[in-house]
A and B are shown apart, each in its own frame.
Chain A
Amino acid sequence: MDNGATLAPVDVAYETYGELNAKKTNAILILHAFSGDAHAAGISHEAGKPGWWDNMIGPGKAFDTNKYFVICSNVLGGCRGTTGPASVNPATGCPYAMSFPVITIGDMVRLQKMLIDWFGIERLLSVSGGSMGGMQALEWALAYPERVVSAIPIATTTRHSAQQIAFNEVGRQAIMADPDWNEGNYHGRKPPARGLAVARMVGHITYMSDDSMREKFGRRLRGKENFGFDFDVDFEVESYLRYRGSEFVNRFDANSYLYITKAMDYFDLTNGHSTLSTAFSAATARFLVISFSSDWLYPSYQSQEIVRALRTRNCDVAYVELPSNYGHDAFLVDVAEQTDLIRGFLGSTFEKAQ
């Protein structure tokens, strides 16, 4: 691992959709965002829930499973099947908790590469994801250029800005300030639910935009005509954030939150390079970069930095800023526009690669 540690054994949770062709040239690796998991598409057996990108992956959809073989795995450090801080350390028989090594986006991608090797896939037709998934797509394209034909990083960056690190730090501090966190040793006890819920509430604010919040909630009151003159829920937006926060607690591990946000903050493609342009000297893939006009968490200028660096290397890159009101959430919501772009891009890439 990047911090010098060795971690073994490691479990990887993954799902696949569609069929791998005989020459193994139609495989696409989908990379999930911070709170996502391997369940990217279809209806899960356990909860009956659609995957987090079900509107984009499936027969006839952007990532057309009639044509392509789509793989999605839970990231290293996650809490949805792949080894993470909530997993049991075989050496001690207890959960790793804070003894889990600090992970990086590079470590996540190294583990994904082992999965791809295990499938016997020589070259991925594409690696794609939004937000932290976009970071992994970029890491793939630079760390294993010979293994990817194309990359589709969406609403992402080559490195977190101070603002992005700041929001992550607020989330981490909310968790660590909760007495139930107990230095990460809450397993078998009460988890730091309040801290984790507050962290998630802050996160949700950054995923929306001023416009989308105005449209969705405005100043509407929740189930009442007048202010309560107390500190129960008055506004719709409060109710929404509380609901999102408490729902998150049921599916996410607080220590995973700490580890994965840290990995995002450490991510910096310029590491070890004098400029971003030299960092991209290894890139050989064809790129489709997408940003959204109202995304203030991963603003378009960060995508444009990627595009500019690729142009200095004369790489094949397509880029568009899609108009949207949904803020950072747009990559999960604005499906129609992305579908046309990705279908056309993948279609011509697949044709050229044959």
Chain B
Amino acid sequence: MAGELTLEDLSKMAARAGLKLAEDELQKLLPGVNRALRQAEELRQLIADGTEPASTFSALKVE
């Protein structure tokens, strides 16, 4: 991820996601979103190429 999101970035992304949030709400949301994005970026450093995700699909299991 290149740098942190700005309020303007967040506003555009929220609109694209179908979220109608007031500017003061976006302002309060911004630090948490940037922390979550930083955290996601840190996780990328921890995996090797061949690692599969923990969630799996079983063709045998039918609900």
A and B bound? no
List the interface of chain A (C-beta within 8 A of B): none
Interface residues of B (CB under 8 A from A): none
